[in-house]
Amino acid sequence: MGSRTRGVVGPGRRSRLAGCEAIVDDLEARRCAASLEISTTGTLGVILRARKAGLVPEARPVLQALLQQGLYLAPSLVVDALDLVGESPDDD
């Protein structure tokens, strides 16, 4: 871990966090995690992993429900993400 984290997080915690991944959508939280050398994924990443693992049959309905509840994702990001799992934004 970088020298910036030495006063914030002790060596024991740094070593435990080294293999962790934080699930965050907030940009400032992602920046904080990056400063601690913690990898991140967001809601979209979790949905895509669940789809690829077969835990959800389709990503599109899950994304649509979250978007309707107020989650913001750039439309182009949604299209690209769905393409990664072989879905299109207008599948019926």
Long-range contacts of 22-29 (CB under 8 A, 24+ apart): 25/71
Domain check: are 18 and 51 in the same one? no
Per-residue pLDDT tens over the stretch 35-79? 888 899 999 999 999 999 999 999 999 999 999 999 999 999 999
Domain check: are 24 and 56 in the same one? no
Within-domain flag for 90: no
For the chain, the domain total comes to 2
Position 12 scores a pLDDT of 75
Decide: pTM greater than 0.95.
no
DSSP letter assigned to residue 41: E
Structural domain for 22, as ranges: 3-41
Pair 47, 55: CB distance under 8 Å: no
Pair 51, 40: CB distance under 8 Å: no
Within-domain flag for 51: yes
Residue 72: burial class (beta carbons within 10 Å; 0-12, 13-18, 19+) = exposed
Q: 91 falls in which pLDDT band (50, 70, 90)?
A: low
* pLDDT over 50 (residue 1): no
* pLDDT over 70 (residue 92): no
Within-domain flag for 91: no
